[in-house]
Structure 1
Amino acid sequence: MKRRHDEGVKADAGRNYRAYPTEDQDRVLTGWGHTARALWNVALEQRVYLWEQRRYTLRSVEQCKHLTAARAELDWMGDLPAQSGQQILRQLDHLLTTIAQIAKLTTRRANRRRDFTHKLTTDLAKNHGLIGIEDLRVKNMSKSAKGTAQAPGRNVRAKAGLNRSILDNTPGERRRQLEYKTRLYGSVLVAVPPFHTSQTCAACGLVDPESRKGCGRLFACAHCGHEDDADHNASVEIEARARRTGGLDINSTRSIPRVRVPAVGRRRMREAPTPVHAS
Structure 2
Amino acid sequence: MGRKYRAYPTPGQDEVLTRWGHHARALWNLALEHRLMVGRKHDGRSWVWSAEQCVLLTEIRNDPDESINWIQDLPSTASQQVLRQLDQAYKNMASPSHPAGQPVFKRRGSATRLHFPGISVSVHKLNRHWAEVRVPKLGWLRFRLSREIGGTVRSCTLTRNGLGWHVSFSVHTGIRPAVPNKKPGCGVDFGITVSAWVSTEAAPRLMPPSLTVGEQLHLRELERRKGRQITFAKKYNGGKYSHRLRKTIRHIAALHARQARRRLDFTHKLTSDLAKNHGFVGIEDLRVLNMTKSAKGTVALPGKGVARKAGLNRSLRDHIPGERRRQLAYKAPMYGSQLRLVTPHGTSQTCPECRQRDPRNRVGCGRLFACVHCGHTDHADRTASIEIEARARRMGDTVIKGTRSPVRGARGRAHGTRLRAAPAAHVT
Give the alignment's TM-score, normalised by structure 2.
Answer: 0.37
Alignment of 1:98-137 (within 5 A): 98-137=248-287
Query: Could you tell me whether the CA contact under 8 Å between 2:295 and 2:306 is conserved in 1?
Result: yes
User: Which residue of the partner structure matches residue 310 of structure 2?
Assistant: 160
* Aligned residue type for 1:241: R
Q: SS of the counterpart of 2:237?
A: helix
User: Which residue of the partner structure matches residue 55 of structure 1?
Assistant: none
Q: SS of the counterpart of 2:325?
A: helix
* Aligned residue type for 1:210: R
Tell me how many residue pairs correspond in the alignment.
168
User: Which residue of the partner structure matches residue 221 of structure 1?
Assistant: 371
List gaps (5 residues or longer) in structure 1: 1-32, 45-91, 249-279
Say which of 142, 155, 174 aligns to 2:324: 174
Q: SS of the counterpart of 2:264?
A: helix
User: Which residue of the partner structure matches residue 257 of structure 1?
Assistant: none
Partners of 1:214 and 1:196 lie apart in 2 by 15
**What does the per-residue CA deviation read over 1:213-246, in whole Å, with 9 as the maximum and x for residues that have no partner?**
1111110011110000111010000000000111
Do structure 1's residue 235 and structure 2's residue 385 form an aligned pair?
yes
Partners of 1:247 and 1:216 lie apart in 2 by 35
Partners of 1:157 and 1:120 lie apart in 2 by 31
Q: SS of the counterpart of 1:167?
A: helix
Alignment of 1:1-279 (within 5 A): 37=235, 39-42=237-240, 44=241, 92-246=242-396
Greater helix proportion: 1
Cα offset, 1:97, TM superposition: 2.6
Query: Could you tell me whether the CA contact under 8 Å between 2:362 and 2:368 is conserved in 1?
Result: yes
Cα offset, 1:41, TM superposition: 1.8
Return closer, same or farther for 1:129/1:94 CA change in 2, 3 Å cut-off.
same
Query: Could you tell me whether the CA contact under 8 Å between 1:198 and 1:231 is conserved in 2?
Result: yes
Query: Could you tell me whether the CA contact under 8 Å between 2:233 and 2:239 is conserved in 1?
Result: no
List gaps (5 residues or longer) in structure 2: 1-230, 399-428
* Aligned residue type for 1:234: A
Query: Could you tell me whether the CA contact under 8 Å between 1:132 and 1:239 is conserved in 2?
Result: yes
* Aligned residue type for 1:208: D
Partners of 1:101 and 1:38 lie apart in 2 by 23
* Aligned residue type for 1:169: H
* Aligned residue type for 2:320: T
Query: Could you tell me whether the CA contact under 8 Å between 1:145 and 1:155 is conserved in 2?
Result: yes
Partners of 1:101 and 1:34 lie apart in 2 by 19
Q: SS of the counterpart of 1:107?
A: helix
Cα offset, 1:96, TM superposition: 2.7
Query: Could you tell me whether the CA contact under 8 Å between 2:362 and 2:370 is conserved in 1?
Result: yes
* Aligned residue type for 2:385: S
* Aligned residue type for 1:136: L
**What does the per-residue CA deviation read over 1:132-176, in whole Å, with 9 as the maximum and x for residues that have no partner?**
000000011111111111111111111111111111111111111
Query: Could you tell me whether the CA contact under 8 Å between 2:350 and 2:387 is conserved in 1?
Result: yes
Partners of 1:232 and 1:143 lie apart in 2 by 27
Partners of 1:239 and 1:184 lie apart in 2 by 21
Partners of 2:364 and 2:308 lie apart in 1 by 14
Q: SS of the counterpart of 1:133?
A: strand
* Aligned residue type for 1:104: A
Greater strand proportion: 2
Query: Could you tell me whether the CA contact under 8 Å between 1:118 and 1:177 is conserved in 2?
Result: yes
Query: Could you tell me whether the CA contact under 8 Å between 2:346 and 2:357 is conserved in 1?
Result: yes
- Percent identity of the aligned residues? 60
- Relative contact order, higher structure (CA 8 A, sep 6+): 2
Partners of 1:104 and 1:134 lie apart in 2 by 33
Partners of 2:392 and 2:367 lie apart in 1 by 23
Query: Could you tell me whether the CA contact under 8 Å between 1:130 and 1:247 is conserved in 2?
Result: no
* Aligned residue type for 1:179: A
Cα offset, 1:36, TM superposition: 7.2
